[in-house]
A and B are shown apart, each in its own frame.
Chain A
Amino acid sequence: MSPDRNTGAIEFALRKSLHGPDGTLAFEAAAVIEKGGFVTLFGPSGAGKTTLLRMLAGLTPPDAGRIVVDGECWFDAERRIDLPPQRRSIGFVFQDYALFPNLTVRENIAYALGKGRGEWIEELLESTALQGVRDRLPQTLSGGQKQRVALARALARKPKLLLLDEPLSALDLGLRTQLQDQIAQLHRRFGLTTLLVSHDLGEVFKLSQRVLRIEHGAIVQSGTPAELFLQQRLGGRINLRAQVLAIRREDVVFIVSLLLGQDIVEVIATNDDIEAVEVGDFVEIAAKAFSPLIFK
């Protein structure tokens, strides 16, 4: 697909060898992201999700490949084009937020903007509900507030591409849900093409139109969240991961106590089932979901 026929789209094909704790990993990924889309990069840690985001931002140099955004070439190894981050139209929300500790909330947001942009700053403060803390320094804010400042600051320059690197991973569940709503709202309001790195399935479902599943340095699956995560489970099986706490013999069968989340459950197993299982092992248990009870 040529970028000029696909206006506003982001097209990339990138290669880089990553040096992680498990040795070298060859990262290679290519995709086209439609304008205004909300795409999640999903996968285990160390798979290269953050690296992909950083390569798009110009913070990590790829070994080879190209990036074309809205018809403008940001990176092309062959033509030796490599725009610095300053010249790429991006907003980046870092995992640690990276707020400037010496600047107030308002100054953090205004940092990227020239003078005379007061109205736009007010609008950003309002749409992220930060008017009340505008003159406070970052370290006096709660986690959720910091996250919103980071988001507002990333939006300030009205970038073509918004990159979110696990922005909610440090927050507790209730706050996370609230901020997911806010991110969805901001995405609708400003229509920015957004790339989110996330481990959280709930988050992926709630926010993204498309998911790129990244494993071992490659995009292994791409589609809507429903396509990726629902259809493979239509068999009605529930797969759970549990830790074996105790095994005791009762007549001809064994009773196995398992830790499932924070609950302890007991299941019956035969001699064959538990032959290779020891206390402390992590096991997979599967059950048919005929008529499960659903609680909230």
Chain B
Amino acid sequence: MSYDWQPLLLTFRLALVTMSILLIVGVPLAYWVAHTRTRFKPLIETLISMPLVLPPSVLGFYLLLAFSPQHAFGQWLEQWLQVRLVFSFAGLVIGSVIFSLPFMVQPIQSGFEALPPSLIEASRTLGKSDLHTFFRVLLPNVKRSLLAGAVLSFAHTVGEFGVVLMIGGNIPGVTRVASIAIYDEVEGLNYAAANFYAGVLFATTFAILLLVYLANRRWMRLG
């Protein structure tokens, strides 16, 4: 019996793309939130953390409305940028980025907040720009938080179901990720196929997390 690897590959592609975008967006955002003195900070932190408590279907529902060409934003996207985000891979990526944002931002933010402010000041007195300090001093010292954020957002995207189903549907090769394929196969009483997807997801996520904990232990010993 041959299995369809496509949903799994799609899942990992989605998780990888989401994680990469979140690294680029999340690290500066986490730094900014950690250091900002604006009085809107609680509001911004709330918005970032919303996906933690919001049912995925709620987020998916609003994204579906927003992306739909029947509404203003979706229409604008289609007319001016020629993109349709509903039922497309790009739509899934945007949904996943929003949905996994707290998993990337929160660990990195607390990593930055745990660094003593004197590190930045010392670097300034040594003549270095804040950008130089950021890459040479701050980032290397939050590498464990970076790893945690990257892995959590990757794993969270792999496990995503509600948002993906709402805005992506179940189009093979486009939006049919493994978690949806499992649901679909079970509905069709195709337990062997469901078991295959479930088993692969179980094994890979287990391996990834184990590697992270091993790496963390090694870093801990090295200091």
Contact = CB atoms under 8 A, between A and B. Distances in A.
Interface of A: 57-59, 84-88, 90-92, 94, 96, 98-103, 111-112, 137, 139-140, 153-154, 156-157
B209 interface: no
B223 A156 contact: no
Nearest to A54: B121
B211 interface: no
Interface string B192-223: 00000000000000000000000000000011
Contacts of A111: 123, 126, 128, 136
Nearest to B124: A85
A111 B223 CA distance: 20
Given A96-B118, A98-B116, A100-B119, A59 B125 contact: yes
Given A101-B141, A102-B137, A85 B125 contact: yes
B188 interface: no
- How many chain B residues sit at the interface, stated as a range, is 10 to 19
Nearest to A90: B125
Main secondary structure of the interface of A (DSSP, over half): loop
B172 interface: no
Nearest to B143: A102
B173 interface: no
B124 A153 contact: no
B124 A84 contact: yes
Contact of B127 (A112, A137, A139): A112
A101 B219 CA distance: 13
B129 interface: yes
Contacts of B186: none
Main secondary structure of the interface of B (DSSP, over half): helix
Interface string B108-140: 000000001011011111111100000011001
Contacts of B128: 86, 111-112
A54 B177 CA distance: 56
A58, A101, A102, A112: which has the most chain B beta carbons within 10 Å? A102
B134 to A, nearest CB: 13
A153 B140 CA distance: 19
Interface of B: 116, 118-119, 121-129, 136-137, 140-141, 222-223
A253 B122 CA distance: 60
Given A86-B128, A102-B141, A156-B126, A59 B121 contact: yes
Contacts of B222: 137
Given A88-B125, A92-B125, A99-B122, 16 more contacts: A58-B124, A59-B124, A84-B124, A92-B121, A94-B122, A96-B118, A100-B119, A100-B122, A102-B140, A111-B123, A111-B128, A137-B222, A139-B223, A153-B122, A153-B126, A157-B126
Contacts of B125: 57, 59, 85-86, 88, 90-92, 154
Contact of A92 (B119, B122, B141): B122
A245 to B, nearest CB: 40
6 contacts: A85-B121, A87-B127, A94-B122, A96-B116, A98-B116, A157-B127
A85 B124 CA distance: 6
Given A111-B136, A137-B223, A98 B121 contact: yes
**Pairs A-B, 7 closest by C-beta atoms:** A112-B126, A98-B118, A98-B122, A102-B140, A85-B124, A92-B125, A94-B118
A80 to B, nearest CB: 20
A185 B8 CA distance: 67
Contacts of A98: 116, 118-119, 121-122
Contact of B129 (A86, A88, A91, A100): A86
Contacts of B119: 98, 100
B143 to A, nearest CB: 8
